[in-house]
Structure 1
């Protein structure tokens, strides 16, 4: 064996005198390495393959980043010749204008942003209890006078809400919309919208359908302090959360309506005047109270004081129990004797003018933001008055009416309705009535006794009518069709005396003769 090894060495070793053969080292070195090293294992091969794939992936990532952000990974070398840069690595060609922007993709992105869940939940906040009645500066966080201890998470939410209330921010600091940033959605139907003169503002609610009304009965609005006598007035404040109730017990009560507890906010006792009507000024600053007296009261919500006003100078009215307030909060119109309407300044509480009808006055309603007044009464006529000139601009006959007992105008002044002693309600278009067409567009015959109360909701899709002469004599009318909702009222309602919608029609309240103020939620409307 030794002889064969030496023989192999002799045959492979080159002679010292012979010149080196070109390429001999290259041929011999691989053979020597193969003899001296062990074969590679499978693990080593797989490891090398992974390294090569990783390096290829890194090179590809660097190439893509170079395309997007420039040649960040290729710094210039000193001494090397400068080569012209590839324009594809320096510039990105914008082709966004060639394609239409997909509205559906945007909507999907917005939905995904809105549905994001919190990344972390602190369980310690739920276990923490905070007493907000001990520290004076924390008492403003209470939602109820008797509230004392809240959880940590609720404490954080109330602090955040209080901060947003005190620091609402500015418009310029808010995130801009797509329209402000220059993004516009291209739609093939845009030209159809531009060809019409219809409103382009998208309404927050769809049209209300006739037939059945979706509603639910909530806790009574005056559950915390029920009245001991008849409720004559209920009305929502312009903020939609404050509700006034008043009646023959001489008390004005204010409740914060939430549909669950409805806590009482304040109560005012008027010693010498059972209240027949109470109403907020539309600007929300005062409440006007009146009864069968020569005077009336004004309750200032800001200063929390009550002032007695009257008797009115130059007049000898024995009762100021019926009145209406103009939508601009400037004028109060009282029903007077012998067909007179008394106009009183809401600011000075002084008599500023009178209007005279041919018959007795039974009902009134303002129109056109307080610049016009409608009145009706014992002669079966509907009068239109100009408040600025104190003149009658139109008189028309209410069809089929001998004695008009109620009058109501829609919020946009396009419609008005009259109620009669026979229970008939006539619905008119005001511009047609003024133009000479005095035929009602709808006639409602669902009541059989005198109509005492009528109220449109904020978008004039619902008309509530009420009679005080019969139990459960309340109906909700679908204005477009002229039909009543067949499933309302339901349950015990009592002898209804008054009613009102909240500013955005989310709530409906009804006051009855038993001292209750019933509260309903109308599901078609999302806001109170």
Structure 2
């Protein structure tokens, strides 16, 4: 043992005398005594108290084996020993009177009666929300419940377009060309985020639309062919390009090949539309003629006739009706299945019609005139000879060049090419024009074309200075 430790032991003894340390082996022998007969007798005595003796313990095991597994038998020895409290049933901590309501219902009819009472309760009170298993299962899978916990706040999405001010942002121009030409056609691809821009220079551009770069992906030159009208087919596989000549071009977007097409009886392709179902296209002809051509075979199917020259055409969403606006201010409705005129009605206050469009919902029809008036009709009123428009828009004073509904039938674009910066967006819900669109934009110039993207996320506006401005409509989240 070290000297300092030995010294501390002597000081603790108090008498200053050295004491012999007890060996560890002797200490262990003194702590754990041998198991004597006296200790064994004491253990047997305690065992009798706990288990009731060897005989009673074995008897309890036999009784437990005869009982149903997991169920405790009332006659089973509790192992606590003999006492008066163990033989008496313990009193409940509290009593619920509803648990002891006595009824005269027989046991065999209890199940049927419970179902009847449950049905009666639901009829009078209604199904409790906590008992609706399907609703609870649906709610458990819903992300909305998750977003309402742990600090997340549930945001109420605006389902309808606000009517006071249009929430938009000016994006990078979709196209900017030389000023010696002007834009005649702008259209978004129906299934891809691609836009087509064409002009009188005979050049067609294809751009990817992202609002930031708007990169050009393809350019096609139609030599000595001014493009007046161009349309994608409904499936987006082809682009039809036309002008005042007696032939058109079909540009295959998959093979990037161009086919020149001449159709018997069709003298020009200045104005035409493609049906929503993609089966046919209707072309404005001379002397009130309208030619219907198969989009796949490029062969004329039949021709229709109206009282005056057709200035604009529009299919209804089902493609079974064709509307034609005429120079005399009348609108002719043809039944495409029967191939004949179904009804003719007069556009109120219109001396010369210029454009027409039908909303994707089929609820509204909009017409434009050379007098600068746009009329919006409810389709249910068009069975009359002189229907009354639900709204006459007179914000523009010069010839209306075109009108177009957006995909949700909430907005209508209208514009004129006579005066600079004359483009408006009409809100159908409130029947008002957005006052903040467009903001003063010197680069916009005289508007020739305008188009909504398939999901109304973008609006493209083409002008006389060979510029296509692009606006991001923030209310609509998709392209």
Q: Same fold (TM over 0.5)?
A: yes
- Say whether 1:293 aligns with 2:245: yes
**Where do 1:129-278 residues align within 5 Å?**
206-222=159-175, 229-278=181-230
| 2:229–2:269 Cα contact (<8 Å) kept | no
TM (norm. structure 2) is 0.70
The corresponding residue for 1:111 is 147
Please list the CA deviations of residues 61-82 of structure 1 after superposition, one character each: whole Å capped at 9, or x if unmatched: xxxxxxxxxxxxxxxx99x946
* 1:111/1:268 CA distance change after superposition, 3 Å: same
The corresponding residue for 1:527 is 478
Secondary structure of 1:408's match?
Answer: strand
Give 1:302 deviation, angstroms. Answer: 1.3
The corresponding residue for 2:295 is 346
The corresponding residue for 1:282 is 234
Larger radius of gyration: 2
Secondary structure of 2:175's match?
Answer: coil
Which runs of 5 or more structure 1 residues have no equivalent in the other structure? 1-21, 27-76, 89-95, 117-202
CA distance in 1, matches of 2:281, 2:150: 48
| 1:247–1:277 Cα contact (<8 Å) kept | no
Find the partner of 1:392 among 341, 345, 354: 341
Secondary structure of 1:369's match?
Answer: coil
| 1:205–1:525 Cα contact (<8 Å) kept | no
* 1:327/1:204 CA distance change after superposition, 3 Å: farther
CA distance in 1, matches of 2:431, 2:459: 20
The corresponding residue for 2:402 is 453
Which runs of 5 or more structure 2 residues have no equivalent in the other structure? 1-37, 43-60, 73-127
* 1:374/1:87 CA distance change after superposition, 3 Å: farther
Find the partner of 1:433 among 382, 386, 389: 382
CA distance in 2, matches of 1:472, 1:409: 25
CA distance in 2, matches of 1:368, 1:109: 38
Find the partner of 1:355 among 304, 309, 334: 304
| Segments ≥4 residues shifted beyond 4 Å | 80-83, 100-109, 112-116, 225-228
| 2:281–2:295 Cα contact (<8 Å) kept | yes
* 1:458/1:85 CA distance change after superposition, 3 Å: same
CA distance in 1, matches of 2:451, 2:200: 19
Q: Report the count of equivalent residues.
A: 361
The corresponding residue for 1:501 is 452
The corresponding residue for 1:374 is 323
Q: CA RMSD in A?
A: 3.2
| 2:368–2:401 Cα contact (<8 Å) kept | yes
* 1:515/1:113 CA distance change after superposition, 3 Å: farther
Secondary structure of 2:382's match?
Answer: helix
| 1:240–1:504 Cα contact (<8 Å) kept | no
Give 1:508 deviation, angstroms. Answer: 0.7
The corresponding residue for 1:86 is 70
Secondary structure of 1:370's match?
Answer: coil
Give 1:501 deviation, angstroms. Answer: 0.6
| 2:344–2:385 Cα contact (<8 Å) kept | no
CA distance in 2, matches of 1:266, 1:286: 14
Secondary structure of 2:366's match?
Answer: strand
